[in-house]
Structure 1
């Protein structure tokens, strides 16, 4: 089993829900998050601001701002990872900075609380 964690733009949430449902993966968890990509801020300026340098803090201005995102968590059998990742990419890839990230993480087990089923049976 794998967990697919996708960080996407807020305005892509409804399209992403639809494409996941259409691909047979209607169950997932979504939460709000805030973040920014590395390309938006000069790393030296960030380090200076973290050290309390007033000039660096002033330089950050709006470039250091965190942007609202949605964070999706979808646990799937190993065989479904490619299909789910492709579905998420099909909606969220615009070619512009801020499209998001997808992480694929190992999951050692899952248990459905209601029935006690475990493993892949708990997520299908």
Structure 2
């Protein structure tokens, strides 16, 4: 099993969720996050309530850029399929498209009925 962590643009979360659902992976965790990389702003993609932050966005500079972090655990044999699907949906060819991290998972346990391993995630 592997955990796939993907940091994506906020405006791509719905389409990403729909594609993962169509592939048979409706279960995921999505969290709003802020971070920094080479991208300095998201012009025209988000509306920030704070006027100072809005001014920095219009000028092309933000202290932290809002993103969405999605996490899902999948069987080893489906990792490449899921990663390629996330990449296809989220690639605009511009700085800020995101990052994907793949981490090993030793075990999993479903709290409700104590299923373990792959049975706990499917």
Q: What TM-score results when the alignment is normalised by the length of structure 2? A: 0.80
Q: Give how far 1:64 is off.
A: 5.4
Would the aligned equivalents of 1:12 and 1:92 in 2 still touch at CA under 8 Å?
yes
Task: Note if contact 1:36-1:98 (Cα within 8 Å) is conserved in structure 2.
Answer: no
Q: RMSD of aligned C-alpha atoms?
A: 1.5
Structure 1 Cα separation of the partners of residues 85 and 103 of structure 2:
17
Q: 2:61 is paired with a residue of what secondary structure?
A: helix
The answer to whether residue 117 in structure 2 is matched with residue 122 in structure 1 is no
The aligned length equals 104
Report the Cα distance in structure 1 between the residues aligned to 2:120 and 2:62, rounded to whole angstroms.
41
- Counterpart CA distance in 2 for 1:90 and 1:62 is 26
In structure 1, C-alpha distance between the alignment counterparts of 2:36 and 2:28, rounded to whole Å: 23
Which structure: larger Rg? 1
Give ranges in structure 2 of 5+ residues lacking alignment: 41-58
TM-score by length of 1: 0.79
Paired position in structure 2 for 1:7: 7
Match of 1:67 among 65, 68, 84: 65
Q: How far is 1:37 from its partner? A: 1.3
Would you tell me which structure has more helix in proportion to its own residues?
1
What is residue 82 of structure 1 aligned with on the other side?
Answer: 80
Q: What is the rounded CA distance, in whole Å, between the counterparts of 1:74 and 1:63 in structure 2?
A: 31
